[in-house]
Structure 1
Amino acid sequence: MTTIALVLATALLLYVVLHTRRVLTWIVIGAFFAVALGPVVDWVQRRVLGGRRRALATFLVFLVVVVLLAALIAAFAVPLVNEGTRFAGQLPGLIDDARAGRGPVGDLLERTHALQWVQNNQARISGFASGLTAPVAGALSGLASGIAGTLTVLVLAYLMVLEGPRVVEGTLNVLRPATAERVRRVGADCARSVTGYLSGNLLISVLCAGLTYVVLLVLGVPFAGLIALFVGIADLIPLVGATIGGATAVLAGFIHSVPAGITVLVFFVLYQQLENHLLQPVVFARTVKLDPLTVIVAILIGAELMGILGALLAIPVASIIQVILRDVWDHRRGELKDEPTVGEDRRPALAAK
Structure 2
Amino acid sequence: MRRKMNSENSAFFRLILNNKFVTGLLVILLLLMVVYMLHAVRFIFQPIAAFMGAVGAPIVVAGVFYYLLNPTVDWAEKRFKMKRNLTITLEFVILTALIVWAGAVLVPIARDQIDSLVRHWPEYWNNITDKLNQWTSDRRFKALNSWVKSTNSNLEGYVGNVASLLKNSGGSTISSVFSTITMIFITIATFPLILFYLLKDGHQLPGYMTQFLPVKARQSFIETITEINLQISNYIRGQLSVAFAVALMFGIGYMIIGLPYAWLIAVIAGFLNLIPFLGSFLAMIPAVVVGMFVSPMMLVYILIVFIIEQTLEGKVISPKLLGNSLKIHPVTVVIILLSAGNIFGVIGVIFGIPGYAIVKVLASRLYIWWKHNSNLFDDDETNDHITPVAPAPTDE
Q: TM-score, normalised by structure 1?
A: 0.66
Offset, 1:55: 1.9
Gap change, CA 1:9 and 1:257, over 3 Å in 2? closer
Which aligned pairs between 1:21-60 and structure 2 lie closer than 5 A? Answer: 21-26=52-57, 27-48=59-80, 50=81, 52-60=82-90
Cα distance in 2 for partners of 1:39, 1:178 equals 30
Offset, 1:197: 0.8
The correspondence for 1:19, drawn from 41, 46, 50, is 50
Offset, 1:145: 2.8
Which aligned pairs between 1:312-323 and structure 2 lie closer than 5 A? Answer: 312-323=350-361
Cα distance in 1 for partners of 2:222, 2:362 equals 12
Cα distance in 2 for partners of 1:206, 1:286 equals 19
Which aligned pairs between 1:138-217 and structure 2 lie closer than 5 A? Answer: 139=177, 142-217=180-255
User: What is the aligned partner in structure 2 of residue 288 from structure 1?
Assistant: 326
Offset, 1:276: 8.9
Gap change, CA 1:76 and 1:231, over 3 Å in 2? farther
Count how many residue pairs are aligned between Structure 1 and Structure 2: 304
User: What is the aligned partner in structure 1 of residue 279 from structure 2?
Assistant: 241
User: What is the aligned partner in structure 2 of residue 327 from structure 1?
Assistant: 365
Deviates more, 1:133-142 or 1:24-33: 133-142
Q: Which of structures 1 and 2 has the larger relative contact order (alpha carbons within 8 angstroms, sep 6+)? A: 2
Conserved in 2, the CA contact under 8 Å of 1:193 and 1:287? Answer: yes
Conserved in 1, the CA contact under 8 Å of 2:272 and 2:279? Answer: yes
Cα distance in 1 for partners of 2:104, 2:90 equals 21
What are the ranges of 5 or more consecutive residues in structure 2 without an aligned counterpart? 1-36, 131-159, 374-380, 387-396
Conserved in 1, the CA contact under 8 Å of 2:67 and 2:236? Answer: no
Offset, 1:193: 0.4
Cα distance in 2 for partners of 1:287, 1:7 equals 33
Gap change, CA 1:172 and 1:84, over 3 Å in 2? closer
Cα distance in 1 for partners of 2:335, 2:314 equals 14
Cα distance in 1 for partners of 2:204, 2:361 equals 24
Q: TM-score, normalised by structure 2?
A: 0.60
Q: CA RMSD in A?
A: 4.6
Deviates more, 1:186-195 or 1:147-156: 147-156
Cα distance in 1 for partners of 2:270, 2:385 equals 43
Which aligned pairs between 1:300-319 and structure 2 lie closer than 5 A? Answer: 300-319=338-357
Gap change, CA 1:33 and 1:183, over 3 Å in 2? farther
Offset, 1:235: 1.6
Which aligned pairs between 1:73-152 and structure 2 lie closer than 5 A? Answer: 73-74=103-104, 76-82=106-112, 139=177, 142-152=180-190
- Percent of aligned positions with the same letter in both sequences? 18
The correspondence for 1:229, drawn from 248, 262, 267, is 267
Offset, 1:32: 4.6
Gap change, CA 1:265 and 1:34, over 3 Å in 2? same
Gap change, CA 1:25 and 1:212, over 3 Å in 2? same
SS at match of 1:300: helix
Offset, 1:67: 4.0
User: What is the aligned partner in structure 2 of residue 253 from structure 1?
Assistant: 291
Cα distance in 2 for partners of 1:57, 1:12 equals 44
Conserved in 2, the CA contact under 8 Å of 1:237 and 1:308? Answer: no
Offset, 1:307: 1.8
* 1:298 counterpart letter in structure 2: I
Conserved in 2, the CA contact under 8 Å of 1:251 and 1:261? Answer: no
Conserved in 2, the CA contact under 8 Å of 1:239 and 1:276? Answer: no
What are the ranges of 5 or more consecutive residues in structure 1 without an aligned counterpart? 1-5, 99-103, 112-123, 336-347
Gap change, CA 1:68 and 1:183, over 3 Å in 2? farther
